Amino acid sequence: MKAIVYPCTPFGTCVIPPSKSLSHRAIIAAALASGTSIIENISYSKDILATIEAIRTIGAKITESGTTLTIQGIGTLQDLPQKMIDCNESGSTLRFLIPLFALSEQSMIFTGKGRLLERPQSVYQELFAKQGLTFLQNKEQIVVRGPLQAGDYVLEGNISSQFISGLLFALPLLPAASSITVKEPFESASYVELTIDVLKRFGIEIMRESHNRFMIKGNQQYQAAHDRVESDYSQAAFFAVLGALHKGITLSNLSVTSKQGDQAILAILEKSGIIIDQTKENVVIHGGEVQGSEIDLADCPDLGPILMVLGAFAKGMTHIYHAKRLRYKESDRIAAMETELKKLGVEISSSEDEIWIKGSPAYQGGVALEAHNDHRIVMSLAVATTLCKKPCVIIGAQAISKSYPHFFADLERIRGKVVLQDEN
């Protein structure tokens, strides 16, 4: 599918969809509980569907009713039969479930699509090797076999937090206590906080000895719960930047007390000169002249692509650092955004870990842009195109279905104009 995105002046209120990060966590926790859980405010993106189907594969019963899931959990993972788990392109599904399914002595096979099985898994590979467990990875599948053992785990702090969260899901179910120490600098710590919060709501206690050390009691049991997923700041970021670069916008249904790391988008915009008003349920982004700034992505890597768009239209220089992990996502997001923004005429350069952008108030547009099979690239380029003088075509726009299938519809609700066409 290709999307022709036209210049526009957005106006009004955008209702932000549920958090994908929190949805994964709640669904998995509910599946591990004995009893029935209710999870409200679910959006069925491809990544969330991957987690739902993976959980069904091991015996959890899930009923969908609108945006609500009813989940009858399985209670134990000790005697799983051998299964093949299709994670599609979801890194969260894969990395959260590997340690859990390694509680069983049976081999478990994980498959996926796109770049998923090429993404680094060395953390688990090394941990499994130390315990004499099976971890085999190639381009077609990952095979793991437990049983995972309790112990003192030491992890690098500059890795994906998904590895830490995966262990936090699994270790409480072992007979003995464990600990996790994360070496400094501890990046993406906010995502670990999200995991701990969800675990607590489902009856699992994680004790925090310090900023980077966690104590996990053994013999814990997940308890069924009634949970509601809050809205997603990583998705809100696209519309927040859209409003900042145009004449403003209201984002509804956002928690002002959220622990999501991507809530950093609000502080970044304020640092760039944008005025933001917050109420209990709404965030009002006022449009204005955006100033170039220094942006640290250590705790909010998913904001990288849209912040490159922000820098492209900012006054002066924008310097983004601690960005290396963008290179190991659905695409190399630094290279992808650099390639596509240069087509618009943006002055942008990068190193392995940093990005420099010299902004300009306007670009001509009228070019064809590539999605790189990456949902965040599509949405970021769409925001950029609304500010160009001529419409642009985004090829491969169907990639949005991975996380935000209704993105273009939501853009049109605030006076955007998008025409979707088959690529054939």
Between the CA atoms of 261, 150, 58 and 189, what dihedral angle is there, to the nearest 10 degrees? 0
305 in the same domain as 254: yes
| CATH at 267 | 3.65.10.10
> Measuring CA to CA, which residue among 395, 377, 385, 389 is closest to residue 416?
385
Please identify, among 151, 182, 217, the residue that sits at the C-terminal boundary of a domain. Answer: 217
Q: Tell me whether residue 302 is annotated as binding.
A: yes
Domain boundary among the residues 217, 243, 265 is at 217
Between CA 313 and CA 363 the distance in angstroms is 9
Q: Is 225 a member of any domain?
A: no
- What's the confidence (pLDDT) of residue 416? 95
Domain endpoint, select from 192, 217, 242: 217
Assigned domain for 250 exists: yes
Return the pLDDT at 244: 97
Residue 25 in marked binding region: yes
Active-site annotation holder among 47, 227, 299, 302? 302
Task: State the residue range of the domain holding 209.
Answer: 20-217
Do residues 11 and 28 share a domain?
Answer: no
Task: Determine if the pTM surpasses 0.85.
Answer: yes
pLDDT of residue 76: 77
Q: Are residues 146 and 163 in the same domain?
A: yes
3-state secondary structure of 223: strand
Reported as type and span, the H/E element at residue 410 is helix 407-413
Residues 209 and 238 in one domain: no
Residue-wise pLDDT for 346-370, tens only, equals 999 999 999 999 999 999 999 999 9
The stretches in the chain having pLDDT less than 50 are: none
My answer on whether 77 and 209 are in the same domain is yes
Q: Judge if 200 and 281 occupy the same domain.
A: no
Q: What is the pLDDT of residue 407?
A: 97
- Same domain for 179 and 272, yes or no, is no
Residue 217 assigned as binding residue: no
Are 188 and 92 in the same domain? yes
Any domain includes 158: yes
Residues 146 and 53 in one domain: yes
Query: Please, how many CA atoms are within 13 Å of residue 322, restricted to the half-sphere of its CB?
Result: 18
Q: Does 20 appear as a known binding residue?
A: yes
pLDDT the model gives residue 44 = 94
| Residues 7, 35 within the same domain | no
Q: Catalytic annotation on 302? A: yes
Instruction: Give a yes or no: residue 199 inside a domain.
Output: yes
Is 171 among the domain residues? yes
226 within a domain of the structure (yes/no):
no
Say yes or no: 365 and 275 in one domain.
Answer: yes
Model pLDDT, residue 82:
77
- Confidence (pLDDT) at 266: 97
Would residue 120 count as lying in a domain?
A: yes
Residue 161 annotated as binding site: yes
What's the domain count of the chain?
2
Q: Are residues 354 and 394 in the same domain?
A: yes
Q: Tell me if 224 is assigned to some domain.
A: no
